[in-house]
């Protein structure tokens, strides 16, 4: 699987990109800058008073119109910003993104939708661009109208403070209960040209696939046709942001937005060939890094948990079982308590609704085997506790009935999760 962002150039292999058998070795070089690492991208983060004590408005801007793509929450209740983005980004061209932190603008009726479009109008007017190329996102409390008397001046102020090094400020401004800003950017060679892909995300609670309470914005200077960007984003989202869970709640506001302005000067990516494979691989690296940071920062969390299920008959079976384990409150609390209660892992696999033979299952915590052929292995409880006390915990379940695998990420469930969510509105 893909790792977290690395200090030096890293390489990984992407098989079957975009459904085409054109696997290539791709070497990516992590760089600083987040959403402003790519050519022609600017961003800002400012305080507008939506929240009490921190920056709460972010703007991301491309110097020229870019092709855009989006993936959105599957929640039947969709917030106004999701509907605005489905309209504007759905047209395929995007040049700016406005993000409001502290207010979800969800369940606010027709007025909430009008407020969303008013934000895109204001930002478009301030930047001198078509408001239809402005995306808008919000995160925060549900059921409360936006304080437009503060939001609009904040949007205009953010537009005036756009800068090529403003990515960090924007990543900070979009946080709610997050404990750290989540950014990633890499460079990759495509068609002899250096292409940069950067991103920022927020998410800490109400995290669950399809999607989570999370926002993610990806920028790139790659030249790529809109349908291919759309395909790459959807495929990568399925393997990254739809493979994390914190608490099983799917939000009303989730979205991943990508914009590609073509300023890298590579030949336009028009088909599912090697250039597309290289782009998709680098995009997956960025999104995997951001997804794992969201899981690591789960509200009250102390540990990142990586669950891998291998030896499955199908990839879908593997992911279904992995998510069942990752979503188990008993598994998550056992990891919090550093208790090698592998029976909870076996139980969660068993109720996932996938056919497998329990008597063939092997389970590992880190490199330590704790179950063999569906029964307890002779293992050291002290060694297991040591492994489970680390900041990152790996759980591997080998079904031994096929050749497919899947990896998902979650975090431990702690006392602080209840404390944070018991007083979220206050």
Of residues 221, 228, 219, the one with CA closest to residue 193: 221
How many residues belong to the chain? 426
Tell me the sheet residues that pair with 395.
307, 365
DSSP 3-state assignment of 353?
coil
Report the distance separating Cα 135 and Cα 117, nearest Å.
9
DSSP 3-state assignment of 165?
coil
The pair of three-digit structure tokens given for residue 192, joined into one six-digit string: 């002899």
Q: Which value, to the nearest 10 degrees, does the dihedral of the CA atoms of residues 144, 145, 146, 149 take?
A: -130
Taking the mean position of all CA atoms in its chain, how far away is CA 402?
29
Report the distance separating Cα 56 and Cα 125, nearest Å.
21
Report the distance separating Cα 34 and Cα 217, nearest Å.
10
Rounded alpha-carbon distances, angstroms, from residue 68 to 17, 59, 180, 195, 278: 20, 16, 27, 17, 19
Strands (E), 20-92: 24-30, 41-46, 57-72
Q: Which residues are catalytic?
A: 213
134 near 95, Cβ under 8 Å?
yes
Residue 76's H or E segment, with its range, is: none
Most distant CA atoms of the chain, gap in Å: 69
The rounded radius of gyration (Å) of the Cα atoms in the chain is 22
How far the first Cα of the chain sits from its last, in Å, is 40
What b/e sequence results for 117-156 when a residue is b if at least 16 CB atoms lie within 10 Å of its CB, and e otherwise?
bbbbebbbebbebebebbbbbbbbebebebbeebbbebbb
């Amino acid at each position: 699987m893909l790792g977290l962002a690395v200090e030096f150039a890293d390489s990984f292999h992407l098989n079957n990109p975009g459904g085409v058998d054109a696997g290539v070795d791709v070497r990516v070089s992590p760089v600083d800058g987040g959403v402003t690492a790519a050519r022609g991208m600017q961003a800002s983060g400012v305080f507008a008073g939506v929240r009490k004590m921190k920056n709460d408005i972010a703007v991301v801007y491309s110097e020229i119109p870019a092709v855009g793509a989006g993936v959105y929450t599957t929640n039947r209740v969709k917030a106004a910003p999701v509907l605005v983005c489905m309209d504007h980004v759905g047209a395929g061209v995007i040049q700016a993104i406005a993000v409001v932190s502290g207010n979800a603008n969800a369940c606010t009726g027709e007025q909430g939708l009008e407020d969303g479009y008013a934000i895109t109008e204001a930002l478009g007017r301030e930047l001198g661009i078509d408001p239809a190329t402005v995306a808008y996102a919000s995160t925060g409390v549900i059921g409360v109208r936006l304080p437009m008397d503060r939001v609009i001046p904040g949007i205009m102020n953010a537009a005036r403070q756009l800068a090529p090094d403003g990515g960090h400020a924007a990543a900070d401004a979009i946080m709610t209960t997050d404990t750290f800003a989540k950014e990633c950017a890499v460079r990759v060679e495509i068609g002899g040209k250096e292409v940069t892909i950067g991103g920022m995300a927020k998410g800490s609670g109400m995290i669950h696939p399809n999607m989570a309470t999370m926002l993610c914005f990806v920028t790139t200077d790659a030249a790529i046709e809109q349908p291919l960007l759309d395909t790459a984003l959807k495929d990568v989202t399925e393997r990254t942001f739809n493979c994390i869970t914190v608490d099983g709640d799917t939000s009303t506001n989730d979205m991943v937005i990508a914009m590609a302005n073509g300023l890298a000067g590579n030949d336009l990516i028009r088909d599912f060939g090697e250039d597309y494979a290289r782009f998709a691989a680098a995009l997956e690296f960025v999104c995997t890094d951001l997804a794992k940071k969201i899981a690591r920062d789960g509200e009250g969390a102390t540990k990142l948990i990586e669950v891998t299920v291998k030896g499955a008959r199908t990839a879908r079976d593997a992911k279904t079982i992995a998510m069942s384990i990752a979503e188990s409150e008993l598994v998550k609390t056992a990891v919090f308590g550093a208790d090698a209660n592998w029976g909870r892992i076996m139980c969660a696999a068993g109720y996932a609704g996938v056919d497998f033979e329990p008597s063939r299952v092997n389970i590992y915590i880190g490199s330590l085997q704790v179950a063999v052929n569906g029964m307890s292995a002779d293992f050291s409880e002290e060694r297991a506790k040591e492994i489970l006390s680390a900041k990152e915990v790996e759980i591997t379940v080998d079904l031994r009935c096929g050749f497919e695998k899947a990896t998902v990420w979650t975090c431990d469930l702690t006392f602080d999760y209840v404390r944070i969510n018991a007083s979220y509105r206050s």
